Structure 1
Amino acid sequence: MGLSMATAARWVERWERQQQRYAVDREERFTVIADVVEHITAGRADRPLVADLGCGPGSLAARLARRLPDADIVAVDMDPVLLELARTHHADAARYVDAVIGETGWTEALDLDRPLDAAVTTTALHYLDDDTLRRTYRQLAALLRPGGVLVNGDHLPQDHSGPAGLTAHVGHRRADRQQAFAHEDWESWWTAVADDPELADLLAERRRRTATVTGKDNDLPLSDHLRLLREAGFGQAGPVWQYGESYVVVAVR
């Protein structure tokens, strides 16, 4: 039995509020990502093809679909709860794929019929270890057309040469002014979800899949990401937006 529209809408709405705790100027960051994708796909004869990596409940995919209604969006995630929320609440935004980014065969699971114009992702790659991230960057470079882009919105700490403490403080103060910390946190959201009987089977599957997942961040600074991107075959790579430790990084194939 599928998830009801009302249940999906309720949990996606709470997800959107909850995530404001973790991304400074989250909506602006989404807008910047869409700006980049719109720019690099403007004037192309073919329908733009975009992959959303670690799509969660479809937050970015839905925004891109509204901004680029002619685009074909393929959204991938490993979390059965979030994927079902996306498939139900944002059914028309994307074609959703159940796969683990970085694992063997994940790019084949996307079932792409042409090179990507863009791969986008938000707060989804920071849990990959160095070797998996390096391999994933190489795989994405191979999937993108020449001139295509990888656009990554994430929290990236400063390296030893930057004012790490001040950067984090600026972002925290911005979030505090926006009252972001008034929203429920990640743990509270999942605790509440666990009490919804409609999601019981999906939660059981999620627990099975994540039993051996550490969820530990790789803590790589921006400079390391840029180095790995260039080693992977991207000709240009750099940030196009930043507030505190929140970045939008673009790498051009």
Structure 2
Amino acid sequence: MGVSTAAARTWVERWERQQQRYAVEREERFTVICDVVEHVCAGRARPLLLDLGCGPGSLSARLARRLPGAETVAVDRDPVLLELARAHHGDAARYVDAVIGEDGWTDGLGLRRGADAAVSTTALHYLPAPVLLETYRALAALLRPGGALVNGDHFPPDLGPCSYLTAHVGRRRAERTGDHRHEDWESWWRAAAADPELADLFERRGRSGPSSGDDGANHHLSVHRHAELLRQAGFSHVAPVWQVGDSSVLVALKD
């Protein structure tokens, strides 16, 4: 039995507010990602987009509003978040259950042509460097020539005093805007787990093991390290195009 539209709307709206605690200038970051994708896809009749670690469809929905003619394939492994996405943002994307980084994870995407862009927000930092490198290689193979990988996340600078300063700037920005007053990650998940309408989904979630973000792994790598891995994976041109504190949008272009 699927989640009702009303329940999905409630939980997705709470998710949006909860995420503002963690993603500095989250809406601006989404806008920048859409700006890049729109530019890369200019002149393409029906661009193909990949949304990696899509959660409940936040970025897919924004991309659908900006590029209404695009085809988006959105990927996540969490059954709760995927079902909320299908129920609330069902028209924005085709949602696929897959574990990013596992062997053969791209096989189930059902792609019949090269993708124009792959996007992600606060999802890929859970992958350790060796898995991230193979994931970047897989994405390079999926993208058409001239396609882009656009990743919005927290990228600390290389270890040192500046690493703490950039994180501090982000925290103070959140305090000034009041974003820190929203419910946190753990509170959202506890409340959602108590909703009887989501009980079956949480049972499935428990059987499938930890999902991204709740397995204790957190491998935030610097922009410099991501750029190294991206170049090893075949992306010749890599650069950050936006940053507030340690929240950045990193773009890699395929020749």
With the shorter chain as reference, the TM-score category is over 0.9
> 2:119 aligned with 1:120, yes or no?
yes
Aligned counterpart, 1:244 = 245
Partners of 1:116 and 1:162 lie apart in 2 by: 39
Partners of 2:167 and 2:98 lie apart in 1 by: 33
Query: Helix, strand or coil for the counterpart of 2:102?
Result: coil
> Identity across aligned pairs (percent)?
67
Aligned counterpart, 1:14 = 14
CA shift, 1:161, in A, is 6.0
Query: Helix, strand or coil for the counterpart of 1:101?
Result: coil
Q: Residue 115 and residue 25 in structure 1: after superposition, are their counterparts in 2 closer, same or farther (change >3 A)? A: same
Between Structure 1 and Structure 2, how many residues are aligned? 252
CA shift, 1:211, in A, is 4.6
CA shift, 1:215, in A, is 3.4
Letter in 2 for 1:57: P
Aligned counterpart, 1:66 = 65
Query: Helix, strand or coil for the counterpart of 2:235?
Result: coil
Aligned counterpart, 1:224 = 225
Aligned counterpart, 1:32 = 32
**Structure 1, unpaired ranges of 5+:** none
Q: Residue 25 and residue 211 in structure 1: after superposition, are their counterparts in 2 closer, same or farther (change >3 A)? A: closer
CA shift, 1:108, in A, is 1.1
Q: TM-score, normalised by structure 1?
A: 0.97
**How do residues 4-153 of structure 1 correspond to structure 2 at under 5 angstroms?**
4-44=4-44, 46-153=45-152
Partners of 2:161 and 2:38 lie apart in 1 by: 32
> Contact 2:21–2:179 at 8 Å: present in 1 too?
yes
Q: Residue 239 and residue 88 in structure 1: after superposition, are their counterparts in 2 closer, same or farther (change >3 A)? A: same
Letter in 1 for 2:169: V
Partners of 1:73 and 1:250 lie apart in 2 by: 18
Query: Helix, strand or coil for the counterpart of 2:124?
Result: coil
> Contact 2:243–2:249 at 8 Å: present in 1 too?
yes
Aligned counterpart, 1:215 = 216
Structure 1 residue runs of 4+, over 3 Å off?
Answer: none
CA shift, 1:162, in A, is 6.6
Q: TM-score, normalised by structure 2?
A: 0.96
Q: Residue 75 and residue 33 in structure 1: after superposition, are their counterparts in 2 closer, same or farther (change >3 A)? A: same
